[in-house]
A and B are shown apart, each in its own frame.
Chain A
Amino acid sequence: MNQTPFSTVAEAVAHVADHWPENGYTFQDDAGVETFYPFGQIELDTAQRAGAMQAMGLKKGDRIGLVIIEPEQFVLTFLAALRVGIIPVPLYPPLSMGNLDAYAQRTTNILRNANARVLIASGRLQNLLWSQVDAVPSLDRLVKADDLLAQDAPTFPDIKPDDIAFLQYTSGSTSEPKGVIVTHDNLVANANGVMGGHSVGIDPDKDLGVSWLPLYHDMGLIGFVISPILWGMQVVFMPTMRFIKRPGSWMDTITKHKATTSFAPNFAYALLAKKAKPAMLDRWDLSHMRLFGCGAEPINPATMRAFTEVMSTRCGMSRNALMPAYGMAEATLAIALKPVADHMRTNLVKAELFQQEGKADPIDEGYQGQVLEHVSCGPCFPLHQVRVRAEDGRLLPEGQEGELCLKGPSVTPGYFENPKATAAAFQDGWLRTGDLGYVLDGEVYVTGRIKDLVILNGRNLHPQSIEWEVAQVEGVRKGNVVAFSRPGAASEELVIVLESRATKTEADRLALRQNVQKQVLRKMSVNPADIVIVDVGMLPKTSSGKLQRRKTRQQYLTHGVGHEGSRTAGSSASTVTLARHMAKGVWSRTKAALRK
């Protein structure tokens, strides 16, 4: 099958059971107890919920916020809205401890930006979300997800392929959120690109997916809720927290269901490695797994290789299973994937030449210098194009690093009610990704980022949001804070560089570092890997006094920002030696177990 038989997700939910009556979705609860919904049942339940939404006065084009923890409740509510053209805005639930105020503010900003009329939430989150009704002027009411029971059947409006299906708020800063418009056309094009015979080649009679990914994030929502229903594929959904608390439950679920596909960010493979015990490796059977996708954050080749080594030796996983992918919310989900039958491919290039001239020149035999390793994310999907542009807009040749620009039916028409941001995102009809990379032999290599973004455990953070919080700490020189990322084995790591007049002694500096760390943990739930205090005037600025984030980062990575004994080397891609060293730590326990 190269393309879905449906032209919208609404049509798929209504008719998927006509094609694959035996298939459906399985939902786990926090304890792992499973409930199976055949697609026919999903059709009936979503119709009932859609009727309940219409009974509240909601109509096609209205926006609703969704804050739902339980995968079962989330999927049924989300698909119900799509069937009647109501536009859901998935939001993340309050998952971590001790930062409810910051959470509430972010939620308010998004609901305001989307002009949402109703907020639908898990029953157990109601008392945490009541305040939103007062804080968001457009919001009429807060509704429990499990109360959506209608007496009357819904009226199904005509849903056209270019209608908005939902809004993704994974981009934009905390204070100025941006909602990526996702149309039914986008979703169908992306599902064809990911699942079609030319790439993954999903067979709904044989394949089964397992996902613990959060459903408010594109990889979990589009990859495992929307694409599979367009394709008739079975999926088992685990609550995200079940995986984070007990990472082994991911592989247990794959083993139990003889699953064939799953996806996760790099950090999850590292976390699993850390938690895998010999007894677990003994019981896991990954021989049915055709692919473990990896995306949403930079891919560390050493972590991936170590995972493959252990899981293929001990659990029967195919050595080709790991599949690096490249994409972003603005391109619906993915735009390039490693071909299923190939090994994960990397390009070893001469580090100095790449860092100075952006030229990816593969090393030859006998080369003695430093080496950078770049992971191939495979070729672009059919009907989609990638090209690489220099800062001045010039097209760059193969193997030359520049900004990756995308075109194709998966690319968003723009940001919701935000023509300014939309205009800035496109140039001559091409989406400017803000990512740095190159194309070699038709394959996409992602090497870094122009846009200011920190990606921690698959979560996109805007450095401005972090810098603003740090500036509130006493002793920090206001407006003189820079936040950026450095590469790590599990995920990117957060680095903060700040100017201070107040620190005279080492004890002052230690106290300031601790206060900054606490502030970032409290407001952002992120633990900075390094906090560097420099003297006044040491942060690089433009002639007009604007802070230069990229330059600060570059200086930091080459030991230049008044920093002693910097632990990191290399450019945006880690050097081979560094990556190996870090992955060694992560995998040491598993490997020790392997030797026993």
Chain B
Amino acid sequence: MDEAKILDLIKEALNDVAPGREADFAKVTLTSTIEDLGLDSIATMEMVGYLEEQVDATFPDEDLAKVSSIMDLTALVRASQT
């Protein structure tokens, strides 16, 4: 899966977790930070759960703890696909 596809998937996950904020999430890019998303810790992990289901993987907790940008998250998704 290439980066653009993963980014689309992340946006899909965001819209699932926080419906009604499509306009905000449309602006998300690879360089956006996790804080830019404006989600609390529970909603952030819900979003991760959605991603995991779509790509059929479980991201290790210790790797998630180190994620600070959308780029990092994208790398995690890619790593799970190899």
Contacts and interface: CB of A to CB of B under 8 A. Distances in A.
Interface of A: 30-31, 69, 93-98, 100, 103, 122, 124-125, 128, 241, 244-246, 267, 271, 275, 456-457, 517-518, 521-522, 525-527
A103 B62 CA distance: 13
B34 A97 contact: yes
Nearest to B62: A124
Given A518-B35, A518-B36, A128 B65 contact: yes
Contacts of A100: 65-66
Given A30-B58, A97-B34, A245 B46 contact: yes
Contact of B38 (A93, A95, A457, A521): A521
B42 A271 contact: yes
A347 B35 CA distance: 41
The 8 closest A-B pairs by CB, nearest first: A245-B49, A96-B41, A525-B41, A527-B40, A94-B65, A98-B34, A98-B68, A521-B35
B67 interface: yes
B60 A527 contact: no
B42 A98 contact: no
Contact of B40 (A69, A98, A245, A456): A456
Interface of B: 33-36, 38-46, 48-49, 52-53, 58, 60-62, 64-68, 73
A95 B67 CA distance: 11
Contact of A526 (B41, B60, B66, B67): B41
A69 B45 CA distance: 15
Contact of A245 (B34, B36, B48): B48
A368 B62 CA distance: 56
B38 to A, nearest CB: 6
Contacts of A527: 38-40, 43
Given A97-B44, A100-B66, A124 B61 contact: yes
A98 B33 contact: yes
Contacts of A245: 45-46, 48-49, 52
Given A98-B34, A98-B35, A518-B36, A244 B42 contact: yes
Given A95-B65, A244-B49, 19 more contacts: A69-B61, A93-B61, A94-B61, A95-B61, A95-B64, A97-B44, A97-B64, A97-B73, A98-B33, A98-B67, A124-B60, A128-B66, A245-B52, A246-B49, A267-B42, A457-B40, A517-B38, A521-B35, A526-B40
B76 to A, nearest CB: 10
A23 B35 CA distance: 45
A96 B49 contact: no
Contacts of A95: 41, 45, 61, 64-65
Contacts, number: 82
A457 B49 contact: no
B6 to A, nearest CB: 16
A469 to B, nearest CB: 12
A523 to B, nearest CB: 9
A125 B49 CA distance: 21
17 contacts: A30-B61, A93-B61, A95-B45, A96-B41, A96-B45, A96-B64, A97-B73, A100-B66, A122-B62, A124-B62, A244-B45, A244-B49, A271-B42, A275-B46, A526-B41, A527-B40, A527-B43
A100 B35 CA distance: 13
Contact of B46 (A30, A93, A125, A244): A244
Contacts of B35: 98, 518, 521-522
Given A97-B67, A245-B48, A521 B61 contact: no
Contacts of A93: 61
A525 B40 contact: yes
B68 to A, nearest CB: 4
Nearest to B40: A527
A128 B36 CA distance: 24
Contacts of A525: 40-41, 44
Nearest to B50: A245
B25 to A, nearest CB: 14
Contact of B62 (A125, A517, A526): A125
B30 to A, nearest CB: 15
Nearest to B68: A98
B61 A241 contact: yes
A241 B44 CA distance: 11
B53 to A, nearest CB: 7
Contacts of A96: 41, 44-45, 64-65
A98 B52 CA distance: 18
Contacts of B40: 456-457, 521, 525-527
